[in-house]
Structure 1
Amino acid sequence: MRNKDIIEAIEKAKHVVVISHVNPDADSLSSASAVYTYMLKLHKKVSFFCASKHIDENLKFLPWLDKIKNSFPKDADLAISLDCGSYSRLGVELDIDLINIDHHQSNDNYGKYNVVDADAISTTQVLYDFFKANEIDINHKMATALYAGLIDDSSNFLSHKTDHRVFEMAKDLCHLGADSKSCNLFVSQHMSLSAYRIKGAMMLDMQLYNDGKIAVLHVDQKMMQKYGAKANDCEAALEEALHLPTVKVAILLRENKNLTLKASLRSDMSIDVNGIARHFGGGGHPHAAGFTLPDNDMQKATQEIITLLKESI
């Protein structure tokens, strides 16, 4: 898809809606924040939509997050989705044109217009490259948002995908006025009391399989309620399980309120967990992927996933 076509679609639109995916993370919200600012610079009527009601308190320092609404405007004529690896992640059915901006390998180009780069470390990097290619000025608010998504999806520049392009982008955004201190503080350092407590409980109950190569973490609704935790509070334990020297793959099975199971997979890149996720109807990246199962039988799910992983290992 030519950038010219996308620019023309934006110019013609009368009411643009930027979409952050359900259960939004920093990359999705940051990308949407940057695009929202861009629309304001164009003097466009713009709305910020997210189907999920809960937004991580740590991320509310990002520009325009106070504008997020859970209802989709009826008069919108163009939507821009950010970091939505599949159409279902939008959380809404659309009957208007859609610009799909993303970096997930599993993205099937579901938009009328698609800007998808699976080699990018974050959707904010895809967006940054788009802005640069089209000579779109990045102001300090856009720079802050883009930087926040970059450090989150790069795990503070520790990701295997971190390269010279990532550092060049970070340097440029700082020159453009990014509030790097706030990004580092709120995205990387602040953690709620509930997140601390549930992380400790998850680590205590962690199970190891296949000579310590597979780490499995289970979280049910009773556990979530005990610690007052939210979905995002479980991510730290999942990521840190990979710090164990023998672990190749970390698995989190979290029970949802509707008694389905959310499975999140992380790997050290020796195993393609995106392939495992696709087997169950999900997707993501080779090193980070996920899917949802229709029932909450954790032991059954654990055994099915481990069986597939043992074949890969």
Structure 2
Amino acid sequence: MIPDKKQIEASKHILIKSDKESLAQASVLYSYCLSLHKKVSLYAPEIERRFSFLPWIDKRRSNRADSADLEIDSSIEIMDLYDFMQMSDVKINAKMATALYAGLLQRYENFLSDAMDGTIFAVLAQLITLGADHQKCVENIVYSEPLSKIRLKAILYKNLLLKENAKVAHVSFCDEDLHASGASLEDVCEAAREFLHIVHIREVHIVKSDENNKIIKIVKDV
């Protein structure tokens, strides 16, 4: 939850706490607090490499700043953060615009999500006008993948089995596959969503082959 604007303005040293899923929001908040001439620290124990291009991420620290008198958790819905900036009459600069654009790109699955609507497109257009770097966001978030994910996808495609007239895909993996690729269960789920882009597939069953082919998650084309 975003603190009251008065809390932010009354603070001298602000600590922004971020996990690897909310680095875009952390970047926006960092720029905003700097614009108010505050001392800012970014606490982010983990980061995803594809978000390392965002403004101020290079300032992150792996330990908390004890001297901070206000802590903000950046795990905020990206559109809620945008609305906060608008309602607070914040002048969005190019750094903020780029981070907001990156957050929307992440939130709406590279703009392929069914949740995309006219409002989101209008916000994106405004952010580009304000200086958001569309090309840099796309290059780093959409087209930049670690080798571990590429290895994992090769394994998953090899194990892909189509059923029910190719409408249902069963994709199996085991712990050894994760170890061999260096990927995570989260990466498996992300790859499974991409399988929905294959023609005819409407549902993906993620199967754990070393647990009696237990279905651990079902991803559907909504």
- Cα deviation for residue 203 of structure 1 reads 1.9
After superposition, the Cα gap between the structure-2 partners of 1:224 and 1:45, relative to the gap in structure 1 and judged at 3 Å, is: same
Distance 2:48 2:207 in 1: 20
2:123: which partner in 1?
169
In the TM superposition, residue 251 of structure 1 has moved relative to its aligned partner by: 4.8
Amino acid corresponding to residue 75 of structure 1 in structure 2 = S
Which residue does 1:43 correspond to in 2?
Answer: 37
1:282 aligns to what?
none
The letter of the residue matching 2:31 is: T
Structure 1 unaligned blocks of 5 or more:
84-100, 103-122, 255-295
Contact 2:15–2:42 under 8 Å retained in 1:
yes
Determine helix, strand or coil for the equivalent of 1:302: strand
Deviation at 1:71, TM superposition (A): 1.8
Equivalence for 1:188: 142
Once the two structures are TM-superposed, the CA of residue 18 in structure 1 deviates from its matched residue by 1.5
Shift of 1:198: 1.3
Kindly provide the amino acid, as one letter, of the partner of residue 16 in structure 1.
I
Q: 1:42 to 1:206 in 2, by over 3 A?
A: same
Q: CA deviation at 1:231?
A: 5.9
Question: Structure 1, residues 82-103: CA drift from partner, whole Å, max 9, x if none?
Answer: 23xxxxxxxxxxxxxxxxx33x
| Contact 2:207/2:213 (<8 A) preserved | no
Sort the Cα spacing of 1:218 and 1:12 in 2 relative to 1 into closer, same or farther, 3 A.
Answer: farther
Write the letter of the residue equivalent to 1:226.
A
Give me the whole-angstrom Cα distance separating, in 1, the residues matched to 2:205 and 2:33.
39
Matched, 1:60 2:52: yes
Residue 73 of structure 1 corresponds to which residue in structure 2? 65
Maintained 8 Å contact 1:56/1:232: no
- Aligned partners of 1:13, 1:297: CA distance in 2, in Å? 52
Alpha carbons of structure 1 residues 155 and 221: separation in structure 2 relative to 1, 3 Å: same
What is the TM-score normalised by the length of structure 1? 0.61
302, 309, 313: which one aligns with 2:215? 302
Does 1:32 pair with 2:32? no
- The Cα shift of 1:219 comes to 4.1
| 2:105 alignment counterpart | 151
Matched position secondary structure for 1:150: helix
Give the drift of 1:15: 2.4
Indicate the SS of the match to 2:4.
helix
Say what the alpha-carbon RMSD is for the aligned residues: 3.0
Q: Over residues 181-227 of structure 1, what are the superposed CA-to-partner deviations in whole Å (9 max), with x where a residue is unaligned?
A: 10011111122333222111112223556775554444444223322
Give % identity. 34
Bigger mean CA deviation after superposition, 137-146 or 186-195 = 186-195
Find the counterpart in structure 1 of residue 89 from structure 2. 135
CA spacing shift, 1:46–1:220, aligned 2, 3 Å = farther
Stretches of structure 2 lacking an aligned partner (at least 5 in a row): none
Give me the whole-angstrom Cα distance separating, in 1, the residues matched to 2:27 and 2:129: 19
Tell me the number of residue pairs that the alignment of Structure 1 and Structure 2 aligns. 219
